[in-house]
């Protein structure tokens, strides 16, 4: 069986029809499975990811075709269904198409017509899938960009910070084997993690050149919780809000706002914490010059088991070995693209907020 061949399940209670049609479809490059009843078809659909189901309508005098169509929709919704009948009825054909069959062919069916019908339906299915994915992904990217721009407006030196943080989070999550849903939520949190900054009092101190006063530092420390609250308590965003709220917590419990410790912080929150600090240290801010890669690596190694979880940090440092230089060049390009003039040298002290 060729692994890239499209898999077709032929369902008919006439064994002779199955054999002849199966041979002809295999000669056209399809990989063919056979079922002689609806229960047999269900078993096969449950165990094999068929691309297409081609089924007779009448089985031993009973119109089981519609049942097979409904069952395929349930078990393999991505599979296309083509029905064949020796007793064509317009009503039946219309009802079958409404219920999701892509075609309704009259027996005897010419195998080359059937092969072409399957290929056409699969191409249309794949195209539809790509368009839906493209549209949804595009909307996520557009909205993410708008959220990033809103945050960058209050601190232009963070141009591109959200998008870069998202990219680094995705790569560490992949290295750690985080599941897809959590990774997507982490990416959204990476974009929105500093959203709370736009609600702080007296936003001027975000771009201040010198150290913050204790009152200013206290104010800036409100941003993780404010951000999580402002993003709302929609059930769908619950995890995203949690990751946003945790992005300044530390593995040793010395972070803020809740001083969570170790695995009290979610895995996604621990990843975001590492990545966010990396991008802050290696980019130019109003109060500091960018750190070199060596200095940044020394800092992270010294903070293993303190600010950061060792396992997350090890994965991150391994990726830095291969991608660090590229990751250090990206911020300057983002600043220039945002039209931010380079600031005068201001020292290299860290202020992680
Ligand atoms: Fe932050």
Q: Is residue 195 part of a domain?
A: yes
Question: Bridge-partner residues for 7, per DSSP?
Answer: 31
Nearest-CA neighbor of 288 among 162, 296, 148?
A: 296
Whole-angstrom distance, CA of residue 190 vs CA of residue 163: 8
Say whether both 289 and 202 belong to one domain: yes
Judged against a pLDDT cut of 70, whether residue 350 lies above it is answered with no
Say whether both 185 and 115 belong to one domain: no
Cα of 276 from ligand 1 centre, angstroms: 7
Cα of 341 from ligand 1 centre, angstroms: 23
Q: How many other β-carbons are positioned within 10 Å of the β-carbon of residue 284? A: 19
pLDDT at 92: 67
Contact indicator for 245, 259 with CB cutoff of 8 Å: no
Whole-angstrom distance, CA of residue 346 vs CA of residue 353: 17
Distances (CA, A) of 323 to 9, 119, 302: 46, 42, 20
What average pLDDT is seen over the chain?
Answer: 86
Q: What is the mean pLDDT of residues 279-305?
A: 89
Whole-angstrom distance, CA of residue 3 vs CA of residue 256: 52
pLDDT at 347: 58
CATH code, domain carrying 68: 3.40.50.2300
pLDDT at 267: 97
Query: pLDDT category, 325, cuts 50, 70, 90?
Result: confident
Judged against a pLDDT cut of 80, whether residue 101 lies above it is answered with no
Whole-angstrom distance, CA of residue 284 vs CA of residue 2: 54
Cα of 96 from ligand 1 centre, angstroms: 55
Tokens of 27: 């000669």
Q: Is residue 90 part of a domain?
A: yes
Q: What is the dihedral of CA 109, 115, 118, 124, to 10 degrees?
A: -130
- Axis-axis angle for helices 38-47, 65-75 (nearest 10): 20
Query: pLDDT category, 160, cuts 50, 70, 90?
Result: confident
pLDDT at 342: 52
Query: pLDDT category, 338, cuts 50, 70, 90?
Result: low
Say whether both 31 and 179 belong to one domain: no
Cα of 177 from ligand 1 centre, angstroms: 25
Cα of 351 from ligand 1 centre, angstroms: 10
Q: What is the mean pLDDT of residues 9-37?
A: 91
pLDDT at 1: 44
Cα of 329 from ligand 1 centre, angstroms: 21
Cα of 206 from ligand 1 centre, angstroms: 11
Judged against a pLDDT cut of 80, whether residue 20 lies above it is answered with yes
Q: Is residue 114 part of a domain?
A: yes
Enclosing domain of residue 192 = 155-337
Cα of 2 from ligand 1 centre, angstroms: 52
Say whether both 204 and 329 belong to one domain: yes
Q: Is residue 144 part of a domain?
A: no
Judged against a pLDDT cut of 80, whether residue 134 lies above it is answered with no
Of 79, 109, 127, which marks where a domain is finished?
127
Say whether both 27 and 164 belong to one domain: no
Q: Is residue 147 part of a domain?
A: no
To which H or E segment does residue 33 belong?
strand 31-35
pTM score, whole prediction: 0.61
């Amino acid at each position: 069986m060729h692994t890239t061949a499209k898999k077709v399940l032929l369902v008919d209670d006439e064994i002779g029809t199955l054999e002849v049609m199966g041979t002809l479809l295999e000669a056209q490059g399809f990989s063919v499975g056979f079922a002689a009843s609806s229960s047999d078809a269900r078993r096969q659909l449950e165990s094999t990811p068929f691309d297409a189901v081609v089924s007779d309508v009448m089985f031993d005098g009973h119109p089981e075709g519609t049942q097979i169509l409904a069952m395929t929709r349930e078990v393999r919704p991505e599979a296309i269904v083509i029905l064949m009948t020796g007793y064509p009825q317009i009503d039946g054909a219309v009802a079958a198409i409404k219920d999701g069959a892509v075609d309704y062919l009259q027996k005897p069916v010419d195998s080359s017509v059937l092969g072409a019908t399957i290929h056409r339906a699969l191409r249309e299915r794949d195209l539809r899938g790509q368009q839906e994915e493209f549209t949804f992904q595009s909307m996520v990217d557009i909205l993410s960009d708008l959220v990033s721009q809103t945050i960058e407006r209050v601190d232009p030196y963070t141009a591109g910070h959200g998008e870069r943080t998202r990219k680094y989070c995705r790569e560490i999550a992949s290295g750690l084997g985080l599941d897809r849903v959590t990774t997507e939520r982490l990416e959204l949190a990476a974009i929105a993690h500093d959203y709370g900054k736009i609600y702080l009092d007296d936003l001027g101190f975000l771009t201040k050149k010198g150290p913050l006063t204790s009152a200013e530092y206290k104010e800036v420390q409100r941003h993780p919780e404010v951000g999580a609250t402002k993003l709302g308590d929609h059930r769908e965003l619950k995890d995203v809000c949690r990751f946003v709220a945790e992005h300044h917590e530390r593995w040793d419990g010395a972070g803020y706002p809740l001083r969570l410790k170790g695995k009290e912080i979610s895995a996604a929150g621990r990843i975001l914490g590492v990545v966010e600090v990396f991008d802050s240290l290696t980019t130019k801010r109003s109060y500091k010059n960018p750190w070199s890669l060596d200095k940044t690596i020394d800092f992270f190694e010294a903070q293993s088991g303190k600010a950061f979880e060792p396992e997350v940090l090890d994965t991150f440092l391994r990726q830095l070995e291969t991608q660090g230089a590229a990751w250090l060049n990206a911020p300057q390009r983002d600043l220039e693209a945002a039209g931010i003039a380079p600031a005068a040298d201001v020292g290299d002290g860290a202020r992680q907020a």
